[in-house]
Structure 1
Amino acid sequence: MRVAVLRQFIAAQICVPIFITNLGTSSCAAEGLRRYRAPIGESSISGISSGAFMAVQFGTAWSSVIKGVGVVAGGPYWCAKADAFDAATWYWGPIWRATGACMKGPASDLDPKDFTAKADAKAAAGEIDPLSNVGRQKIYLFRGYNDAIVDKAATDAAADFYRHYLGDANRANLFYQATLGAGHSFVVAKQGAPGLNDCKANTQPYIDQCGYDQAGVILQHIYGRLNPPNPAQLAGSVKSFDQSIYTTPHLPDALSMGDTGYVFVPRDCEQGSPCRVHVALHGCKQDVADIGRRFVDEAGYNEWADTNHLIILYPQTKTSPYWPSNPQACWDWWSYVDHQDSYVTKSGSQIKAIKAMLDALADAAAAPAGATAPSLSAPQSLTVIDTSDSGADLVWSPGDDATTYRVSRAGPDGAFQVIGDVTGTSFGDSGLTPQTTYRWRVSVVLNGAVGPSSHEATGITRSTPPRCDDPGSCTIAK
């Protein structure tokens, strides 16, 4: 305790440049995060692999402040089933479960009732927020069919977990993309970028170039249609900060967290404009010590953030070969830090650290950015941002989140039919036919009255991907 306090005192007095070989640059991490005009209730989170499991844990524990969750190659809440301390099983049991059923299936070992029952118990005990909040979150799920590390059974289980709380009324809050031939990776639209992988790779830096802008799809599914990303030099900047301020009373090492975290701040946010915060969690072996700053700089979030008043927080883990044992710099989704089931609750050590960072950036008293009074005017800029073989992700320009929107769809017969209402400015359509053209319209619903329709948006569903028995070597469907 005294060491932690002393370290933070020293950090507050001086700023010593830290040289990271992988980056080739120096960064000063002695300072903490500053607060911006960012309403905490407009925050969101996403992650890949272990970061995806942590995003589910954090978004469920703190569902009162998390607007949406992006899950890339991850599974459901409490997947490893690490429970209260048992000297005989606490270590090997959760690891076997995490690296077994949670990564390889089969589906019969991933019963959604187990995970919802645990979440229900934790909510009843007050250890996580009421689960009614999960029912209004926007959820994006992804698994590439060349993923040789996490089986589709895991992401299917995550989808089932969320569908349980979304129910029929909010089913359109979820969009699940599983038709791309990506490997175990975060997927970017770049092609031929040095240091990044081809589309079906399952190796570091676990960023695959598939011509698919995953960061943009995640952010727009959560927040509605955004301005196009900045294709040029960014006006904002990446700043480093001292994570020990937010792991107190522990040093970061005790939580297998890095000394330094990163945050991208657009220039407008720096100058006082209202903004929102998105937390982006790297996966195993994607920390700065392993791949440099590639996830921070090249995942694609910053380009979207720069033009849309979004602050991107990049917390960092680190390798811990001894205690706690975390040799691949994963986020804690099998209780390697606390050895208790608190790791999936508000009191979990890493969840507490991330929340402390979010609290430092966001403002509980700030008004939502861009909120407008609801009206019956037609929604603007309806766009199909993504399709799978059986679904489509629709977004439109955001208005007041209290406004209800009615979505209509026309299939091959050309007749529009109402398919559902949604709160917020995105809609995950489902139950569609592969390789089929559809059209959509959106209208505002206010006090029982339905306003004029938006312009039509057209999309074509993808073909169903071929069976992939050897992930990592399967042909990528066009």
Structure 2
Amino acid sequence: MRAAVWRRYIVALIVAAAIDVSPLAAEPAGLRGYHAPIGESSISGISSGAFMAVQFGTAWSSVISGVGVVAGGPYWCAKADALDAVTGYWGPIWRATGACMKGPASDLDLRDFTAKADAKAAAGEIDALSNLGRQKIYLFHGYNDAIVDKAATDAAADFYRHYLGAANRGNLFYQTALGAGHSFVVTKEGAPGLNDCKANTEPYIDQCGYDQAGIILQHIYGRLNRPNPAQLAGSVKSFDQSLYTKPHLPDALSLGDTGYVFIPQDCEQGAPCRVHVALHGCKQDVGDIGRRFVDEAGYNAWADTNRLIILYPQTKTSPFAPGNPQACWDWWSYVDHEDSYVTKSGAQIRAIKAMLDALTAGAAAPANATEPSLSVPQWLTVIDTSDTGVDLAWSPVAGVTTYRVSRAGPDGAFQKIGDVTGASFAESGLTPQTTYRWRVSAILNGTEGPSSEDAIGTTQSPPPRCNNPGSCPIAR
């Protein structure tokens, strides 16, 4: 009997070695619920992950408070209604790799995208589009990006401006003055395995001295605590994605078997937290670049000191049906060839939402709210500048949702420039290479409180004309 058991153990060891998995390794479990209200969740992504972030944030706008779009385009950009009548091929892949990545702007008609969103909202397939007016939107295009043309990200900006309207224009910040390639951008310099600032190659993480993760998170949530330079107190955990793709197996949706989530120590111990979903781009899944996006994009350090849970869902390559050889997110309907891919019923959107539901399942009823007051907003900070824009963030005043922003130009006189919901404000239309000052005050029941201390910022020079992205000089 012992010999038979021993033989079975030896066979198990051989099989495990063949597939490079320890026979004693624990299988990833599912996600547990934390004290994280789903309505305070947000999402961002790069490239195909940016297109998916727009889709998800639009479909589930009732629970998504902010969206970060790095080298992506508008809702329903690739379109997807039927097979091409002339070629017989599935048309959206050609549009996705054509107009949605290379332009020109004339092939990206805003009316197409808003008409589809309006129709899906009217049919109840996505949330009410009025929710987009309260979302904080960050967009980014590096002028050395040789893969996705600026026209695509311009179209995404136009899509959001359409729904934000003039009253909420301060919710959108669009950075175009950095000479990054097609990449998520980090502050590191000389880190092994990461690219220089102009690169357009794997792992699509470029070192430009620019903290993109921190800017995205602060644009959405207001000013945050600085990351701790020491070792993180929280940890990255793996989880079984098949629990959230049912009734399908992950392979059927071109999703990986395993996803990842960063959990701060405070959240693990029951503190109130929030969830941010970070979506990698094509060829940035763990099968292609390992855990570099999970570990090195910069989200975890900010999350660790600010009670933010970071969810990293994973795609995988799929050479057969559904065809997805570069592990992209589904932004041209490669899963089912129907326009549901941009709605709540889209296969990958359903899976991400199921993961988000699991993480937020432990949210408790809110405790007694702090009595609101007209306190002075603290730590008003310029978190980013472009040639014509500035992004401001400050610490929220307890119980206050509306703030008034005033600006002084070279003449030194302050003027009101707008009211905003939430603790950030993006200004546009400024003069390049000009220094400005800003103040913020809380608004409660129509009454304005005292102003904050001034924040000072100087806009950048206009970016150089870049006719050959990937080889243009870095201006910043």
| Counterpart residue identity of residue 413, structure 2 | A
Distance in 2 separating the partners of 1:157 and 1:113: 10
SS of 1:258 mapped into structure 2: coil
1:329 aligned to which of 327, 334, 350 = 327
After superposing the two structures, state which structure 1 stretch, 358-367 or 451-460, moved more: 358-367
SS at match of 1:132: helix
Aligned with 1:296: secondary structure?
helix
Query: How many residue pairs are counted as aligned between the two chains?
Result: 461
**Helix, strand or coil: the match of 1:381?**
strand
Partner of 2:456: 458
Q: Is the 8 A contact 1:410 1:439 kept in 2?
A: yes
CA distance, structure 2, for counterparts of residue 368 and residue 246 of structure 1 = 27
Query: How far off its partner does 1:402 sit?
Result: 5.3
CA offset at residue 18 of structure 1? 11
- Counting only pairs closer than 5 Å after superposition, residues 79-158 of structure 1 correspond to structure 2 as 79-84=77-82, 91-158=89-156
Report the Cα offset of residue 372 of structure 1. 3.8
Contact in 1 for aligned 2:276/2:310 (Cα 8 Å): yes
Instruction: Give 1:191's aligned residue.
Output: 189
Query: Among 420, 423, 429, which residue is 2:421 paired with?
Result: 423
Q: Structure 1 residues 300, 51: closer, same or farther in 2, change over 3 A?
A: same
Alpha-carbon distance in 2 for matches of 1:108, 1:346: 29
Letter of the structure 1 residue corresponding to residue 310 of structure 2? I
Structure 2 counterpart SS, 1:172: helix
- Distance of 1:267 and 1:117 partners within structure 2: 44
Distance 1:369 1:473, change over 3 A: farther
Alignment gaps of 5+ in structure 2 = 1-14
Q: Cα 1:369–1:59, aligned 2, differ >3 Å: closer, same or farther?
A: farther
In the aligned structure 1, how far is the partner of 2:88 from the partner of 2:235? 42
1:151-170 aligned at under 5 Å gives the runs: 151-170=149-168
Amino acid in structure 1 at the alignment position of 2:244:
Y
Q: How far 1:403 moved relative to its partner?
A: 1.9
In the TM superposition, what is the alpha-carbon distance from 1:377 to its structure 2 partner? Answer: 1.1
Q: Pick from 292, 307, 310: which aligns with 2:308?
A: 310
Q: Secondary structure at the match of 1:250?
A: coil
Change (3 A) 1:334 1:77: same
Q: TM-score, normalised by structure 1?
A: 0.93
Using the alignment, how far apart are the partners of 2:452 and 2:50 within structure 1? 34
Deviations 1:180-206 (A, max 9, x none): 000000000011100000000000000
Which residue is equivalent to 1:51? 49
Equivalent position of 1:3 in the other structure: none
- 1:420 aligns to what SS in structure 2? strand
Note the aligned Cα RMSD (angstroms): 2.1
Aligned with 1:409: secondary structure?
Answer: strand
Letter aligned with residue 451 of structure 1:
G
| Gap runs ≥5 in structure 1 | 1-15
Superposed CA offset, 1:369-398 (max 9, x none): 996443111111100000000000000002
Partner SS for 1:149: coil
Secondary structure of 1:274's partner? Answer: coil
CA displacement 1:397-444 (0-9 Å, x = unmatched) = 023575210000000111100000000000001110001000000001
What CA deviation, in whole Å up to 9, does each residue of 1:17-61 have, x standing for no partner? 99998x99x974430000000000000000000000000000000
1:350 counterpart residue number: 348
What amino acid maps onto 1:313 in structure 2?
L
What is the aligned-residue identity percentage? 83
- The one-letter code sitting in structure 1 at the alignment partner of 2:56 is F
How far, CA to CA, are the matches of 2:42 and 2:116 in structure 1? Answer: 23
Quick one: which amino acid aligns to residue 57 of structure 2? G
Query: Which digits, 9 at most, give the CA deviation of each residue in 1:325-348, with x for residues without a partner?
Result: 000000000000010000000000
Aligned to 2:396: 398
**Are 2:83 and 2:91, in contact at CA under 8 Å, matched by a contact in 1?**
no
Q: Which amino acid aligns with 1:250?
A: H
Shift of 1:447: 1.2
Structure number, greater radius of gyration: 2
CA deviation after TM superposition for structure 1 residue 92, in Å: 3.4
Could you tell me whether the CA contact under 8 Å between 2:371 and 2:399 is conserved in 1? no
Paired with 1:283 and 1:111, the residues of 2 have a C-alpha distance of 24
Aligned to 1:203: 201
Is structure 2 residue 471 aligned with structure 1 residue 473? Answer: yes
What is the rounded CA distance, in whole Å, between the counterparts of 1:20 and 1:436 in structure 2? 60
Residue identity matched to 2:451: S
Q: Secondary structure at the match of 2:57?
A: helix
Name the counterpart of 1:300.
298
| Distance apart, 1:82 and its partner CA | 1.1
Assess, with a 3 A threshold, how the Cα gap between structure 1 residues 120 and 20 changes in structure 2: closer, same or farther.
farther
Distance 2:233 2:334 in 1: 39
Residues in 2 aligned to 1:87 and 1:40: alpha-carbon distance in whole angstroms: 43
Counterpart residue identity of residue 362, structure 1 = T
Give me the whole-angstrom Cα distance separating, in 1, the residues matched to 2:362 and 2:174: 31
Q: 1:81 to 1:401 in 2, by over 3 A?
A: farther
Pair 1:245–1:17, CA change in 2 (3 A) = farther
- Counterpart residue identity of residue 123, structure 2: A
Amino acid at match of 1:93: G
Describe the shift of the 1:376–1:154 C-alpha distance in structure 2 as closer, same or farther (beyond 3 A). Answer: same
Q: Distance in 1 between matches of 2:362 and 2:167?
A: 28
Q: Find out whether 1:77 has 2:75 as its counterpart.
A: yes
CA 284–412 in structure 1, closer or farther in 2 if over 3 Å, else same: same
Q: Is the contact between residue 43 and residue 68 of structure 2 (CA under 8 Å) also seen in structure 1?
A: yes
CA distance in 2, matches of 1:275, 1:67: 14
Shift of 1:230: 1.9
Distance in 1 (alpha carbons) for counterparts of 2:259 and 2:19: 13
Q: 1:90 to 1:394 in 2, by over 3 A?
A: farther
Once the 2 structures are TM-superposed, how far is the Cα of residue 83 of structure 1 from its aligned partner? 1.8
How many Å apart are 1:445 and its aligned residue? 1.1
Corresponding residue for residue 12 of structure 2: none
Q: 1:151 and 1:389, CA in 2 relative to 1: closer, same or farther beyond 3 A? A: same
Q: Distance in 1 between matches of 2:231 and 2:367?
A: 25
Q: Among residues 43, 62, 66, which one is paired with 2:64 in the alignment?
A: 66
- Label 1:322 to 1:168 Cα distance change in 2 as closer, same or farther (>3 A): same
